[in-house]
Amino acid sequence: MSDFTKIDSYLEQNLDHSLDELSRLVAQPSISAQNVGLKECAQLVAGMLEARGFKCQIMDTEGAPVVFGERKGRSDKTLLFYNHYDVQPPEPLELWDTPPFEPSRRDGKMYGRGISDDKGHIVSRLHAIDAILATEGELPCNIKFVIEGEEETSSVHLHDFIKQNIPLLKADACIWEFGGVDHREVPMQYLGLRGICYVELSAETAAIDVHSGTGGSIFPNAAWRLVWALNSLKGPDERIRLPGFYDDVVQPSARDRELMDKLPDVAQVYKDMYGVKEFIKGLKGGTDLKMEEVFTPTCTICGLTSGYQGPGSKTVQPARASAKVDFRLVPDQKPETVLRQLRAHLDAEGFADVQIKFLGGEPAARTDPDDPFVKVVVDTAEEVFETPMELVPMVGGSGPNHPFVHDLGLPVATAGLGYPDTRAHAPNENIRIDLYLKHARHMARVIEEFAK
């Protein structure tokens, strides 16, 4: 391992400066689901890369632009960083202790929408690059950044973007947008992501809402149509009823179970963190719970809306109803197949009137735990975190790793500043400043060791 004294010293001395830069980035809303502030944020990010001597392009897609940056280094090896500048919607606003787009620092943490997912990762990586440039005057290898603006809406256009730019994005390995420590402060190496198929289901039964005294007995009710259609997708047994849905599922291997077995039990942690009293399917904890969490495809209702939702009662029969639904997919399920199965199922069950709007999707993908690049990331982590990184063969969340793994042919490793109470996608999203610094130290080491 090289001597990182100078680099670590730079990172500590310039920490506040880097956090100020992070504050500016978080203060720029960039909500992909609501098409708010995306171009402005892309320009801000490109400016940050250019300030480090990166050659930058803001590249149009059919959705939000992608920021691409590249700077040459000593060796001819190329490390690609994948990040995203978009964030989740901040609602419900009333549950934030401080406004989501006015980053604030207290008790060793910084708060703001997107500060963990994913803006903190971007700026701490730039901080690591600053430290290398300040101490060595050049990069030890080529570095490329691809920073998209639609990760929180299922990266709808990234797959096409990558397929159309394979020479530009050519690299030898990829560091993923997120990573972090678990509840024991152990850094985790996440080697696979589930896929997703996100849809909005909607029913419309009349032109206008009707007094429920008139319509209730004889008119179709949009809310009932939606409830029955949803119920046809999954019952309390949790089995997803689309015919053929489980056909493409690759069952986890003995090696997967062995890796999961080494990981700590999460049952009590989840119960304490989320206020959940019990798990579904009779799960109690242990390896079974951990396996179920990531190797099982899901059908989750993310939102429901119809009719009167205010206080008290209103006797009205709704003309419209809709639900947001996400299916989490495992290898080798494909979102386009699920979408086809969903339409066929609804038609067959008598819900041809229920409309499906596809809001994004991507298949699952995994990296081999024994890839040499994974070893570089794991070994360097141990020095920074002072405890061995643990290997997680698959996680429950989704991301567009499929084109990186299967179109660019890269090993993808995760590293980051996340921790269990980081509240990504929820009110009071935050980062721990100690982990922000550790991530920068880790990234500096990965760049140096990878370049060799």
- In the complex with a copy of itself, the residue whose CB is nearer, 8 or 148, is 148
- In the complex with a copy of itself, the residue whose CB is nearer, 33 or 168, is 33
Parallel/antiparallel/unpaired status of strands 355-362 and 192-204: antiparallel
Contact pick of 131, 139, 223, 377 for a copy of itself (by CB under 8 A): 223
- In the complex with a copy of itself, the residue whose CB is nearer, 78 or 306, is 306
- The answer to whether 274 contacts a copy of itself (rule: CB under 8 A) is yes
Q: String of b and e for 285-307 (b: at least 16 CB within 10 Å)? A: eeeebbbbbbbbbbbeeeebebb
Parallel/antiparallel/unpaired status of strands 78-84 and 142-148: parallel
Report 35-64 residues binding a copy of itself (CB under 8 A): 35
Number of residues that bind a copy of itself (CB under 8 A): 92
Q: What six digits make up the tokens of 301?
A: 């209702």
Smallest distance, a copy of itself to C-beta of residue 223, A: 4
Contact pick of 13, 164, 231, 268 for a copy of itself (by CB under 8 A): 231
Neighbours of 363 (CB within 10 A): 28
Smallest distance, a copy of itself to C-beta of residue 27, A: 21
Parallel/antiparallel/unpaired status of strands 192-204 and 320-329: antiparallel
Contact pick of 359, 369, 382, 391 for a copy of itself (by CB under 8 A): 359
Contact pick of 221, 333, 337, 367 for a copy of itself (by CB under 8 A): 221
Contact pick of 170, 228, 248, 332 for a copy of itself (by CB under 8 A): 228
Report 294-353 residues binding a copy of itself (CB under 8 A): 294, 296, 298, 300-319, 321, 323-324, 326, 328, 350
- The answer to whether 206 contacts a copy of itself (rule: CB under 8 A) is yes
Report 246-265 residues binding a copy of itself (CB under 8 A): none
Smallest distance, a copy of itself to C-beta of residue 347, A: 14
Neighbours of 418 (CB within 10 A): 26
Smallest distance, a copy of itself to C-beta of residue 450, A: 28
Q: Give me the phi and psi of 361, to 5 degrees please.
A: -170, 165
Q: Count Cα atoms within 13 angstroms, Cβ side, for 77.
A: 17
**What DSSP line would sit under 195-242, residue for residue?**
EEEEEEEEEE--SS-EEHHHHTTTS--HHHHHHHHHHHHB-TT--B-S
Distance between CA 325 and CA 414 in Å, rounded? Answer: 27
Report 176-205 residues binding a copy of itself (CB under 8 A): 194, 196, 198, 200, 205
